Structure 1
Amino acid sequence: MQRWWFLEENAEGKDPSSSTSQKSEASAKKPKQSTAAGGDRPYTFRVLVTYELLKDETVAITGSCDALGNWDPEQCVQLRPENGGDSTIWRLETELPRDASVKYRYLICSVDPTSGNVHVRRFETHIVPRQVPIDLAEEEANGSKEKVQPKIDTLGDIDGNIKLDKGWLTTETIMQFKFFDNPFSVKERIKNRLLYVKITTMNLRINAESQNLSALLEESLSNDTRENGTESTTTYSFTEVTSLHNPNACYEQQSQFGCPYHKDDFLIFNVTVAEPENVAYLVDLYTYSSKSKEDEPPYHLGYHYILPNFLKKSEGILELPVTCASKHRPLGMMRIEYLKVTPLLPSRCTLERSYIRYWNKRWTGLDVGHRGSGTSFKASDGNVIRENTIASLKNAVAHGADMVEFDVQLSKDLVPVIYHDFDIYVSLKRKTTLETNDMLELPMRELTLEQLRNLKVYHVVEGRNREAKFFDEDLEEHQPFPQLAEALDQIDPHCGFNIEIKWSQKLKDGRMESDLNFDSNLYVDCILRVVLEKAANRRIVFSCFDADICTMLRLKQNLYPVMFLTLGVTSRYPSYHDPRCNSIEMAVRNAYATELLGIVAHTEDLLRDQTQVNLATERGLIIFCWGDDNNCKDTIKHLKSLGIHAIIYDKMDIYSDKAVKESVFLVGARDSQAALLQQINIENRYEHTNQHEFLNDKDVRLSLDKYDENEDSRENAITTTIEQGGHQFDLLIFTQRWPITACYEWRETGKDHICGLPTPSTVWTIHGIWPTKLNTIGPAFCNKSAIFDVSQLTPIEPQLEEHWVNVEKNKPDDSLWEHEWLKHGTCAAEAVEQLNTESKYFGQGLSWLEQHSVGDAFARNGDIKPGFNYSLTTLNKALYDYYGKNVAIECFFDRKTHQQFLNEVRICFDKQLQPVDCDGIVGLERIELPNSRIGTVISNCNAGKPIFYPDAVPSQDQEKEDGVMNETIYEIFDGKTDVEVILV
């Protein structure tokens, strides 16, 4: 099943090279045996491929079971074209576990015919992957054995959301060749002609059947009438090129006569090879004759061979002669800058998920702490914390930073540490005062981590001024040079990291910022290994001023997004040699072509021309901004109004205007909790596990992290169970909540949470009207272009403020109304005319509260009052007797006291707004009622424990009670008294 069909052909002798056949046979993959306890089921995958596949490319699938390779790229399974090789429909018939749903993705990959290694060319990157639901035994249920024609997916497209991104390096290498700064110096007669550049790979592997090396290099493979390469010299490779002269630059296959180089252009070739040590590169130049006809092709002007021994370093500059193609004489010179990107080994990335270009559209105007709590050596006041320390990072988090930005570089012993400057000062003498000759300036890279920690080290500013600024370094968290691993371990995991990779660049005047002696591949690999090992579910964005480092970060992993830091047009800092960093326009083109998440622009440049924001956003790129100009409340507010996604600034405690000092990612995780618990209940139905015990604190945290990692915390909070259902629904769930419990729940789920109760507080209020499909969840956010207009609610706003209350203090009531309308109301509006406007939707809620108040139900049937414990049986009987329908009862579980509190009651209506039973809704289960004449109830409450109906919010210092108590609850049925003794 996992045997690659074109390798099988080689193994069967269809390839004339016996050695290749043997290698292909060795690289063929054996199918794994299924370990599903419930057996397997046949399943057919079919996918429409609208992309043009290149030679050696094929379509494959990977997924969450053995049969699909468990997300391992090396174990992905190839599909075959239907009805021959020209079909656009690809197919795989396989067997999947019968008792489990299977998630899967499609990809375009290639297989190295020599080693059999799989290389991911492009892959689907939707946050929620495709899913095959649990088998429902359709043939048996229908009493028919007719085979159902499988549905056809579209490669890269899930419900109109197209995401098919470039892959990452698994075992292959990318050689990048850059032509910029007018790199050609040729004879006068042709210097003004437009030159076309083409790069062709050549196989230098020598075997018994190949030519000798000298003969191979003597033959120019390019001419003006035929394609490059022969069977003996071509190699397994892919060559793509882009020109940043094009505003919509993207990598494409080069044409027969190459890509034109315009004046001041920036031409980039990416050549993917499996064995870089055995590959040479032929650079051909073409141009048109001054007397050429309109349909006449360009002629071959010159060429040069680049041998692999020229490319041993990770980066470099080649000054090469151009040899005349006809006379084989020197024609001029060309300058090529190259970059070699090698894979991160061993590979830690899978196809399970990728955030490489993911950004929730609700994440705008984020507050990012610059070097933690700000630059400490520019500040004029003394009330600062040393920059880039654990203390500085924690202080920013405590004051509401959504992310913290800091600089990472390597010590001499290759440990990633957090520090900004390339150089440091070391004290030579133990004196209380610093004199001119007491300080030695050293590159930070020349000291090991132990030396950095043990020596008396000063910042460059301290060294030059001979004045120490900080005296709290005896405190561990204030120590300079914290390890990146320590920050990942010690900083609140809900705070995102913007990790800037420090790398020395060449300036426009030819000087280097610093003489780094690290290999760039080794440098990036050391940092990535720590992040991939330690980051867990933290939101991370990499950034760097060096475009080549950004390219490496993008190609070496597929998990974390990368942003290109730009200097822009400025007089404050010297310009770089690489023009991609010197303007927002070039930065945007490079980021778009390289498939980065976006750019980090210099605010000085943005304020000079605000329309440049559109250069990024119109191409779907995310834009952050940095600079001293950001250290102003008015500027921060203005930048947020421009739609900047994140602003990096100093002193979060002074400039942040957040009312609640929390990261947006923490808020998002909390908002996802209800949907997560519903999904857990759905999944547990098939595992027959106990639904009635609440998850402990650790379980909830881990589950929320997992959920937040896989799904958008707001828009994708509805799980994949509704993906196939569209916007259809069966019921409307009218949810009333007890504000005292809601207030307590809000307070207990966050240390800084403050709740606000309505007046009076002992009345049931409205939570929402939720369209729901039976046996699943949702739909939700049915109209993503909808805008909440609170002015429509003006006539009923006083009633809403009293009865549709937001218990989260410091948040306006209309924030809850906006959420309910956008998430639920937009779906109800599509199918129910009586709910198709905001005023109708919220007005219906008020009407239902008046007609179907839970407080009235409790008062008229059982005299149930706040301040007492009741059994689930008692509560359910009172509600059923009043409404005449099965309702749902939801509890909140207090982990400190092990009590359960009455929280919500849900009443169901059909689309004609008539009451119906809530049977068939999920998230709450139909459970047995012990020792009761009423058999079952829809609830998440524990039927074996009392439910407290609180009359006041418990105090914060309430402690867990030790021991076990018996509580006797009396219930009266038909004039008889039943007694239940419940363990508390």
Structure 2
Amino acid sequence: MIRRIVCDVEFCVIVKEKLNPCDSVLVTGSCEQLGEWLPNRCVPLNRTDKNDEGEIWSTNIKIYGTQKISYRYLIAQIVRIDDDLNLIIKKWETFKTARQISLNNHWMNECDNGVSSLTNTPVDNEQPDEYPAIFGCYKGECRTDIGWLTGQREIQLRFHSNTLQLWSSKLRNSKMSLKVSPIDLNYQQENEEISSDLPGELYAPTSKVFIQSAILRLSGCEANIQSDYGAIIEKDDYMIVKIQTFEPENVAYHIDFYLVDELTTLRKHIGFAYVLPVHSNLELADNKHLNRIVPIIGLKHNPIGQIKIDVLLITPLEGVQQKFLVSPSKYWRQGRRPVNVGHRGLGKTNTEHIPCKAQSSSSSSNDSNKQRIMDNTAPILPPTTRPVQTKFVSENTLASFKGAFQLGFDFVEFDVQLAKDKIPVVYHDFQVAITLKRKGQEAELFVVPVKDLTLPQLQSLKIYHASKTDVSKVDEEFDDDDQTTINNNTNLTGISNSSNNLDNQQIISTNQLKQQQQDDKKFRSLFPTLHELFETLDPHLGFNVEIKYAMEYRQGGSEQNHYFERNEYIDCILRCLITYAGKRVILLSTFDPDCASMLRRKQTLFPVLFLTQGEKGDWPQFLDIRTWSIDIGLCFIVAEHLSGLAAPALDILSNKDFVKHVKDNGKLLFVWGDEASEKDVSKCLLELRVDGLIFDHVAEFKEEHSTTENLFISEEREELEVLNNFRQKQLELQHNQLLQELERLKVAREATTLSESTINTSSTNQLSKVSTNLGQDQSSITDSNFKHVM
């Protein structure tokens, strides 16, 4: 009979925060019985008790085997559709090392049916007093995070106070509050029509919807579940209502408007509005926001005003299986020094106007360098680690990224967007200039969007920076790439024609030369793919990936018309990142607030930073008010649970207390801008303890700082040293325990030997005595017999 080991383990946790009636506590873990970290296989717990500390949830789970089990707790809303377990994850534990339990053989009892059973509680050996567990706290550390979209959609309704128009002069300047309630259309269809004669009629709540709200204002962010009267929206406030549901096509939205009276907590209901279901990406075909203007209906069923609503639909990331695991990127070590981030590698190179070759009158010694700049190609990096001249290496190229790593930089920042064939490529601008090469004729440059060119076209066409407009004639000579191709063909022909005269070593050398030329071309490419960066660059080099997306300007127009739909665009980039990330530390950032929200909702592996323009720079202002200042940017990252903010240096220098505000909210702060490259400014920012500096002039900057080693290399070495020391102590402890055991066995053996010797001596004496007595008796018998005979 096969002996099967079954452990009956009790999981028990106290939840101190207030839960909604539809909330549940679940457990997930590394073994099959705990779902192997998959959302749709989590195990629900039962609410067993409630005390002053909070609600107690527990369950017993039979686990097979005696292995060490890792597990985490989570709070979610269970939605069952067609008997399938679907979760709207509200919060889950994100400790770097999950909770653990070791199931030992000596606790098991043999059952009559051949199954070994064990009743145990999941208490860590080093923390035996942590039972029952406290949700979100483990070994003195408290870490939780919101979940991701496991299959549901999120619809965001955004209200700006300036877009609310009430036509009555009595109400025009009044303070208002509004509340959004979801309507389950299936429920309404299956039941009788509900009368709306009573003001403020509440629709039957649906357990298939999770709704939250947040208000962004300069004084701070208010994020909570809606109250009975919703939220007060004042002048210049920006309100976001977020609804998550698995059936967006069956959910409409009812908006109630209330008049706020400062003298009482009661509010007068003055009207309502409706928003029809939002469930199709076809409505969001362009990069512009989806706007809906809906009438506000009074209690007498007459229109009393209107409100403009911005709508955003976020869909889950398809094709990638996500689990309850914490990546190295997500865990930002406390006390870590500010990281050095090379802007586009060794620095940006496409900002200065470059004259055409026909207008140049400099000496011939600089012709090759100018030609490289004109062609926007990068030379091969020298094999040494000496500072590389940034102006000779084009931005956002493999050569530039490798150069930054050779200088000891922790991160490189680069821009990612999609080519026409949906392949993520690294390039900053949304447009490029292309021309046909025609000998003896003037060239005309055509500005073409990157999104309209496939990757092979981007990597093979003669491409200039979009700002280049003074090319009057294309060179009649072959460019470097063409010449390389000719030389390669000539060499190959020579091998073919005189193969009998070449030995194997010459053939190998020629093949190596050809491979080297291909590698050189790859490093100089102006359009490396995101996949190539993962394959080529050292895994210790962190990636700060800026997700480019065309945004609308406040004064009109946009960075690029008719751009990709946001969900599809973000999904293509995230799939590449998740597939090839490995253990590399990755930060995501973007200027587009909607893209930032999507990046946060679609995954939980990588931290997301929101890039803000601030108020001090002279850049064209975007239409979205969330980009206008660092204060509103901080409110936004708090409301959307982003990891941090990337702000311009000028805004931070003018408001140094802002750094403390960011830290008080538990967020990261990165600083960018031309000013960050200046010696005095960078020194000041480092003293303020910002988390990262993004700057140009990388080689010059490194000369002013003593830190030359990549942060993640040094941290890895420290972790290995700690691990080795721990292992050494464990070995020493085991060695001492073994010596003690040997000493105990030696003492026991000596005691046993002494005891045996004592027993043997006693036995010998007794035997000798018996022999003597026996001899005496025998002698007496003999004498007696002799006397009898006589």
**Normalising by structure 1, what TM-score?**
0.61
Aligned partner (choices 695, 715, 720) of residue 668 of structure 1: 715
1:176 is aligned to 2:156: yes
CA distance in 1, matches of 2:93, 2:328: 11
Deviations 1:810-862 (A, max 9, x none): xxxxxxxxxxxxxxxxxxxxxxxxxxxxxxxxxxxxxxxxxxxxxxxxxxxxx
CA distance in 1, matches of 2:419, 2:308: 33
Note the alpha carbon deviations across 1:265-313, whole angstroms, 9 max, x for none.
0101111111112211122222147xx9625332232323333378753
8 Å Cα contact 1:472/1:478 also seen in 2: no
SS, match of residue 715 in structure 2? helix
Tell me the residue number matched to 2:433: 425
Residue 90 of structure 1: how far off its partner (Å): 0.5
* Correspondence for 1:239: 211
Matched, 1:276 2:248: yes
Gap regions ≥5 residues in structure 2: 111-117, 124-130, 354-368, 371-390, 485-520, 743-790
Map 1:313-332 to 2 at 5 A: 313-314=283-284, 316-332=289-305
1:650/1:47 CA distance change after superposition, 3 Å: same
Q: Following the alignment from structure 1 to structure 2, what is the Cα–Cα distance between the partners of residues 338 and 468? A: 48
Which residue matches 1:125?
94
Aligned position for 2:515: none
1:257 is displaced (CA, Å) by: 1.4
Is residue 249 of structure 1 aligned with residue 221 of structure 2? yes
How far off is 1:221 after superposition?
9.7
**What amino acid sits opposite 2:199 in the alignment?**
N
Question: Any idea what SS the aligned residue of 1:590 has?
Answer: helix
Q: CA deviation at 1:208?
A: 7.9
Q: Which residue of 2 aligns with 1:505?
A: 551
CA displacement at 1:638 relative to structure 2: 2.1
* 1:37 Cα deviation from its structure 2 partner: 9.4
Q: 2:414 aligns with which of 381, 406, 416?
A: 406
2:81 to 108, 111, 114: 114
Q: For 1:122-521, what aligned pairs fall within 5 Å after superposition?
A: 122-135=91-104, 137-138=106-107, 151-180=131-160, 182-187=162-167, 188-205=169-186, 209-210=190-191, 220=196, 223-224=199-200, 228-230=202-204, 234=206, 236-245=208-217, 247-288=219-260, 294-308=264-278, 312-314=282-284, 316-354=289-327, 358-378=331-351, 383-431=391-439, 435=442, 438-463=444-469, 475-521=521-567
Deviation at 1:518, TM superposition (A): 0.8
Q: Residues 365 and 645 of structure 1 are in contact (CA less than 8 Å); yes or no, is this contact kept in structure 2? A: yes
**CA contact 1:284–1:302 (8 Å) conserved in 2:** yes
Residue 615 of structure 1: how far off its partner (Å): 2.1
- Cα contact 1:71–1:352 (8 A) shared by 2: yes
| Alpha-carbon distance change, 148 to 447 in structure 1, aligned in 2, over 3 angstroms | closer
SS, match of residue 182 in structure 1: strand
- Say if 1:325 and 1:464 are closer, same or farther in 2 by CA, change over 3 A: farther
Q: Letter of the aligned partner of 2:39 in structure 1?
A: P
Q: 1:364 deviation in Å?
A: 2.5
The structure-2 alpha-carbon separation of the partners of 1:66 and 1:193, relative to structure 1 and needing over 3 Å to count, comes to: same
Once the two structures are TM-superposed, the CA of residue 472 in structure 1 deviates from its matched residue by 6.3
Is the helix fraction higher in 1 or 2? 2
Which residue identity does 2:596 align to in structure 1? Answer: C
Q: Report the CA distance shift for 1:554/1:208 in structure 2 as closer, same or farther (over 3 A).
A: closer
Cα distance in structure 2, aligned partners of 1:197 and 1:438 = 56
What is the identity percentage for the equivalent residue pairs of Structure 1 and Structure 2? 30
Code of the residue aligned with 1:378 in structure 2: it is T
Give the whole-Å Cα distance in 2 for the aligned partners of 1:152 and 1:451: 61
Alignment-mate amino acid for residue 349 of structure 1: Q
What's 2:649 paired with?
A: 603
Contact 2:9 2:122 in 1 (8 A): no
Change (3 A) 1:651 1:136: farther
- Superposed CA offset, 1:571-627 (max 9, x none): 420112212212111111111121111000111211222222222112111101111
| Counterpart Cα distance in 1 of 2:231 and 2:101 | 44
- Structure 2 distance, partners of 1:185, 1:48, is 47
State the shift of 1:346 in Å: 2.6
Partner AA of 1:648 in structure 2: I
Q: Which residue does 1:975 correspond to in 2?
A: none
> Which residues of 2 match residues 538-617 of structure 1 at below 5 A?
538-617=584-663
Q: Which runs of 5+ in 1 are unaligned?
A: 1-35, 683-771, 777-887, 889-907, 909-916, 929-984
Q: Which amino acid in the other structure matches residue 155 of structure 2?
A: M
Instruction: Please give the per-residue CA displacement for 1:352-383, whole angstroms capped at 9, x wherever unaligned.
Output: 22567531123322111100111012368964
Greater length-normalized contact order (CA 8 Å, ≥ 6 residues apart): 2
What is the one-letter code of the residue matched to 2:681? T
2:260–2:268 contact (8 Å) kept in structure 1: yes
Alignment deviations for residues 656-685 of structure 1 (CA, whole Å, 9 cap, x no partner): 145464310111112212344567x69xxx
Structure-1 separation of matches of 2:447 and 2:121: 75
User: 2:25 maps to which residue?
Assistant: 59
Q: What code does the residue aligned with 1:178 have?
A: R
| 1:759 paired residue number | none
Contact 1:372 1:404 (C-alpha < 8 Å) held by counterparts: yes
- Contact 1:356 1:562 (8 Å CA) reproduced: no
Task: Work out the CA distance in 2 between the residues paired with 1:109 and 1:440.
Answer: 53
Summarize the Cα distance change of 1:410–1:573 in structure 2 as closer, same or farther, 3 Å threshold. same
Indicate conservation of the 8 Å contact 1:369/1:403, yes or no.
yes
Q: Which residue of 1 aligns with 2:60?
A: 93
**What amino acid maps onto 1:396 in structure 2?**
A
Matches of 1:328 and 1:357, distance apart in 2: 51
Letter in 1 for 2:47: P
Structure 2 CA distance for aligned equivalents of residues 527 and 180 of structure 1: 31
TM (norm. structure 2) is: 0.76
What secondary structure sits across from 2:347 in the alignment?
coil
Distance 1:452 1:639, change over 3 A: same
* Partners of 2:524 and 2:330 in 1: CA distance: 35
Change (3 A) 1:334 1:396: same
Contact preservation (8 Å) 1:287, 1:301: no
Larger Rg: 2
Whether the 8 Å contact between 1:356 and 1:597 is mirrored in structure 2 is no
- Kept in 2: contact 1:400–1:661 (CA 8 A): yes
In 1, distance between residues paired with 2:458 and 2:714?
38
Q: Distance in 2 between matches of 1:51 and 1:562?
A: 26
Instruction: State the alpha-carbon separation in 2 of the partners of residues 64 and 487 from structure 1.
Output: 32
CA change 1:524–1:196 in 2 (3 A) is: same
Quick one: which amino acid aligns to residue 268 of structure 1? Answer: I
Q: 1:191 to 1:358 in 2, by over 3 A?
A: farther
**1:798 alignment partner in structure 2:** none
Q: What letter corresponds to residue 156 of structure 2 in structure 1?
A: Q
SS for the counterpart of 1:39 is strand
Residue aligned with 1:205, SS? helix
Aligned-residue Cα RMSD (Å) equals 3.4
Cα distance, 1:44–1:195 mapped onto 2, change above 3 Å: same
Q: Which AA in structure 1 matches 2:211? A: T
